[in-house]
Amino acid sequence: MKRVKCTVEYDGTGYSGFQIQPNGKTVQEELEKALRTMHKGEHVRIIASGRTDAGVHAKGQVFHFDTSLAVPENRWVRALETLLPSDIYVKQAEYVEESFHAQFDVKEKEYRYYVRPVRSRDVFRRRTVYHHPRNLDIEKMQEAVKQFLGTHDFTAFCSAKTTLKGNKIRTVSRAELNVTGEELEFIVRGNGFLYNMVRIMMGTLLEIGEGKKEIDTIPRALAEHNRRLAGFTTPGHGLFLWEVSY
């Protein structure tokens, strides 16, 4: 058996998330279906770096699987492309050591969230950008975003629905807000993320930009572990899992 590491991008619009679940189409289901076809009906289980929620996209999700097939490394991408729907594309595949684990070996992940704060819509970006027409103080938001940097307990920026046990301490190594044309791009990189963490961080920045919250909201919420101090949870469709580092 050989272990294959794959990097996949997908448009999450038509999926109920990455991970297989009883009801609803998922990205994992489509990937495993394609691999099952290649393996003549044999079930092949994939292990991903983590799951993404309904509507969330990926530019650099990573997964691994074990195979008994003698497929040349450079043939996997083409073979999977012919079996996958057009909104899922495995863009890289390579053989790795059997000890490699797509989930447990992750060092950092990078997410990006896109917001269109102007009145006019862009119909071609409606599935990948959150349209939120408001008058925003961008400089205030760019000052506030820096407060996410460092190691903190992010309980306040985690959905109350989370089932995670244990501490919620995470380290954010990059946090910035850029203006790209008529859109805002929030980039955040860290050693781990809680359920809905990036979307709540984005919602908090938007409320600061609108004047609903002050800049000191972020350090207060972090210190008090108070979800009510943080902002709203933005929709999933503006979010991308951008890169996974090992």
Whole-number pLDDT of residue 174 = 99
The two structure tokens encoding residue 101: 């684990």
Closest CA relative to residue 193, chosen from 129, 127, 239: 239
Binding site annotation covers 111?
A: yes
Mean pLDDT for the chain overall:
96
pLDDT higher than threshold 90 for residue 224: yes
pLDDT higher than threshold 90 for residue 226: yes
Closest CA relative to residue 48, chosen from 132, 133, 106, 128: 106
Q: In this prediction, what percent of the chain has a pLDDT beyond 90? A: 95
Report residue 160's pLDDT band, with 50, 70 and 90 as the boundaries: confident
pLDDT higher than threshold 70 for residue 85: yes
The stretch 162-183 carries a mean pLDDT of 89
Whole-number pLDDT of residue 30 = 98
Could you name the CATH architecture of 2-96?
2-Layer Sandwich (3.30)
Interacting residues of 178 by C-beta distance below 8 A, sequence separation 6+: 184, 185, 187
pLDDT digits (tens, 9 = 90+) for 183-220: 999 999 999 999 999 999 999 999 999 999 999 999 99
* 3-17, 59-73, 155-169: least confidently modelled range: 155-169
Intervals of CATH 3.30.70.580 along the chain: 2-96
Whole-number pLDDT of residue 164 = 64
Report residue 159's pLDDT band, with 50, 70 and 90 as the boundaries: confident
Report residue 35's pLDDT band, with 50, 70 and 90 as the boundaries: very high
> Which residue intervals of the chain are DSSP H helices?
27-38, 76-81, 138-145, 197-209, 217-224
The stretch 175-190 carries a mean pLDDT of 98
pLDDT digits (tens, 9 = 90+) for 56-73: 999 999 999 999 999 999
Catalytic residues: 53
> Which residue intervals of 24-124 are DSSP H helices?
27-38, 76-81
Cβ–Cβ < 8 Å for 177, 203: no
Interacting residues of 147 by C-beta distance below 8 A, sequence separation 6+: 215, 218, 219, 222
pLDDT higher than threshold 90 for residue 105: yes
pLDDT digits (tens, 9 = 90+) for 111-139: 999 999 999 999 999 999 999 999 999 99
pLDDT higher than threshold 70 for residue 54: yes
Intervals of CATH 3.30.70.660 along the chain: 108-245
Whole-number pLDDT of residue 165 = 67
Domain 108-245 maps to which CATH number in 1.20.1250.20, 3.30.70.660, 3.20.20.70, 3.90.1150.10? 3.30.70.660
Whole-number pLDDT of residue 141 = 98
Whole-number pLDDT of residue 163 = 59
The stretch 40-67 carries a mean pLDDT of 97
